[in-house]
Structure 1
Amino acid sequence: MMSDPNSPSPAETENLVVIFLGFAFATFFYGLTFFQMYIYFSRYSKDDMWIKVLVGAIFVLDTTSAGLVSDLVYDYLITMFDVNLEVIYATPAFCIQDLLSVIITLIAQLFFAKRLHTVCRGPTSITSRSVSVVVLFCAFIAFVFGLVSVGQFFQQRELSAFALPSMAVIAGISQGFATVANIIIFIAMYWSLRPARYPDMSLPKGVFENLSMLFVGRGLGLIIIQLAYLGTFVASPGKPYWVAVQMVASRIYANTVLGLLNVREVRRGMGLNEEDTFSDRHDSRDDGLPSALQFRSTKGTQQSSSSSQEAENSRSSEIEEMSKSFTDDHNLESIHSRCSEQLAYDKASLS
């Protein structure tokens, strides 16, 4: 039995399946991006302006990237339907989408570097400065080599060209340094935000909350997606497997940053990080300013509540005693007046 000459070859089928799966997962995670953007702007209306700009920039970049991925799939499945796709040709949409992925990765790593500058024993600590500088260095190297890799993509336009040693080394360095930055972020975040350093910090309860804390709050999800990206590329740089991971990676970075912002406790439109939620500081009601939102610890709150309750009880007791004394005095006055009236009546009748 002879095969149909018009049927796609196994290599072409593999390429199309990988691209379609990457598009499907990328679209799903973009839906999460849109949902998280809505949650942020509806809850944290009084956040700092730089955070709002960050969320807006991530949403715009991720939306543009998702649109380019859709255009890419349309080109491969509709426009280039009669073209042999045994070797994937990088369209302009593919190259620009790769560039946006590099930019989103840099923004997410810069955001975590700023978080580390705060949680690693404060901005003036040598530890926080050292960790932040190392993360920034790795993120910058990954970004620069990522730009070079995107430039090579614009020139070669064939995916198989990444099997060449010169292009594979440049792309591998970019992804390798991005992976190192994510590993440092996870270790530093996990080590810094522990109950021993922040005893008043609220702890997650249950399996789901603990997993969410690890994947989003500590950055474990960034390590997993970046290792998958690096592993598929190193294993087969000329194959399309890493392309599907690359489509999803930028969405993971975007949703991790947005998720970390949305899990914060909200007070009067402002978000409080987990290490600040129950800090032992003065109550924000004393200042009356949303920018000075700081709260007492749970123990202090309970003590103040019990003191206020005792004060209220003592006031109510005093009020009851005063009302009783007032009632007694009023009764005595009424009795005295009645006795006076009775004496006057008796005198009048005798006379």
Structure 2
Amino acid sequence: MASPATITYGPIFIGVVFNILLYGIMITQTFLYFTVYKRDKMWMKLFVSVLFLCDTLNCAFDIAFVYIPLVNNFDNVMALQNASWVFATDPAMTAIIALMVQLFFTWRVKVLTGSIPAVIFIAFCSICQWCGGMGTAIAVGMIPEFTHFQKFKVIVIIWLAFSAVADTAITVALVWHLRKHRTGFSATDDVVNKIIRMTVQTGLVTALCAVIDLIAFLSSPSGLHLIFNLPLSKLYTNSLMSSLNSRAGWKYGSIGRGLSGQTESSGEDINSTMPRNVHVIQTQPSNGVRVSQQVYIDVESHQMADIEKESPVPVDGDSETRSVRIYAAHQGKPIVTPSTTEHTMS
């Protein structure tokens, strides 16, 4: 006979293991960020610090709600059937982390595209998913039995569905803008393609995980969906940090700002990747909000020139006259006609 903990705490245990593994990756990414991007603005560093703190608290809470029923209440079947108050913190923390990450990407969409309707739509979906996550946490406190979680499935649908829609909208907006603004030069298009791939990978991973979590929750009353739900917060933070840390590979280090609008410190110049006659120049408007890039192409024009030279002819046997006439053909008209005479006394 299977243990009573198998149905519920089996998926919870697997989900917590994935959560901790992703937390280790988050530690590495945070360390790399503060090591490499020391010139980022203070608000950005504070934002990353708050995200890391939230991730740490979420990881501690997840370990606690596994430890309490399996260790403190060992051999207590009732403790295995009901969720504790610590378990209710997981949907709340996940919703808060998702809100912070999605609003950051919403700001990025605003900076890049300037599309107010897209920004409003993404922000609306993000706030709705936050409300759904907080509502799920409250519902878990009111109905703690794991087998009765289906009773508040409406609020869970709002939480996960709007989260997936927000992530998908962010991905579509960024990819559409980047594809529209390709330059036609292989050097810059390679960079744009790398950014597009990174955007699709980070955006669709969280959206796909939320959709799978929702399908598993609606299709099975067991705790199977918790395998995908518990690591969801770490997927959001890691997607953001991977996007920030990958800026060094975009070769936008020393020209001002990357996609996040921050000053880079990699020391690489995008002009080093351009052809010799192509130069990228950035200008800073007076309001200091956005940096505009202008691409200048030096066009060289070469004209064929006809040169006429007269051979030396001796004059009076005492001197030698050399006359050189140079004509340059430009649109059929002579533009330079210098004449030089040299006399050599015998």
TM-score, with length taken from structure 2:
0.70
2:49 to 56, 60, 65: 56
Q: Say which structure, 1 or 2, has more relative contact order (CA 8 Å, 6+ apart).
A: 1
| Conserved 8 A contact 1:99-1:147 | yes
Counterpart in 2 of 1:151? 138
What SS does the aligned partner of 1:203 have?
helix
- State how far apart, in whole Å, the 2-side matches of 1:274 and 1:138 are: 21
Amino acid across the alignment from 1:254: T
The Cα offsets for residues 25-45 of structure 1, whole Å up to 9 and x where unpaired, read as 111100111111001111111
Amino acid across the alignment from 2:280: D
Counterpart in 2 of 1:253? 236
- State how far apart, in whole Å, the 1-side matches of 2:290 and 2:157 are: 45
Moved more, 40-49 or 141-150: 141-150
Amino acid across the alignment from 1:264: R
Q: CA deviation at 1:100?
A: 0.7
| Conserved 8 A contact 2:209-2:228 | yes
- State how far apart, in whole Å, the 2-side matches of 1:26 and 1:95 are: 16
Q: CA deviation at 1:229?
A: 1.8
Counterpart in 2 of 1:235? 219
1:142 to 122, 129, 150: 129
Matched, 1:184 2:169: yes
- State how far apart, in whole Å, the 2-side matches of 1:134 and 1:73 are: 37
- Identity, % of aligned pairs? 23
TM-score, with length taken from structure 1:
0.69
Amino acid across the alignment from 2:281: R
User: Is the alpha carbon distance of 1:283 and 1:191 closer, same or farther for their aligned partners in structure 2, counting shifts above 3 Å?
Assistant: closer
Considering fraction of residues, name the structure with more strand.
2
- State how far apart, in whole Å, the 2-side matches of 1:157 and 1:229 are: 19
Matched, 1:220 2:204: yes
User: Is the alpha carbon distance of 1:28 and 1:119 closer, same or farther for their aligned partners in structure 2, counting shifts above 3 Å?
Assistant: same
Amino acid across the alignment from 1:273: L
- State how far apart, in whole Å, the 1-side matches of 2:26 and 2:255 are: 21
Counterpart in 2 of 1:8? 3
Question: What is the RMSD of the two structures over their aligned residues, measured on CA atoms?
Answer: 3.3
2:16 to 14, 19, 23: 23
Counterpart in 2 of 1:319? none
- State how far apart, in whole Å, the 2-side matches of 1:210 and 1:282 are: 22
| Conserved 8 A contact 1:21-1:244 | yes
The Cα offsets for residues 125-167 of structure 1, whole Å up to 9 and x where unpaired, read as xxx1000100111111121122122111122222222212xx1
Matched, 1:79 2:65: no
- State how far apart, in whole Å, the 1-side matches of 2:224 and 2:39 are: 43
| Conserved 8 A contact 1:45-1:269 | no
What SS does the aligned partner of 1:92 have?
coil
User: Is the alpha carbon distance of 1:14 and 1:27 closer, same or farther for their aligned partners in structure 2, counting shifts above 3 Å?
Assistant: same
User: Is the alpha carbon distance of 1:228 and 1:271 closer, same or farther for their aligned partners in structure 2, counting shifts above 3 Å?
Assistant: farther
Amino acid across the alignment from 1:198: R
| Conserved 8 A contact 1:193-1:275 | no
What SS does the aligned partner of 1:281 have?
strand
Matches within 5 A, 1:282-293: 282=282
User: Is the alpha carbon distance of 1:295 and 1:188 closer, same or farther for their aligned partners in structure 2, counting shifts above 3 Å?
Assistant: closer
| Corresponding residue pairs, total | 276
Amino acid across the alignment from 1:272: G
- State how far apart, in whole Å, the 1-side matches of 2:291 and 2:177 are: 22
- State how far apart, in whole Å, the 2-side matches of 1:282 and 1:17 are: 55
Ranges in structure 1 where 5+ consecutive residues have no aligned partner: 123-127, 285-290, 307-351
Considering fraction of residues, name the structure with more helix.
1
Ranges in structure 2 where 5+ consecutive residues have no aligned partner: 263-268, 271-278, 301-346
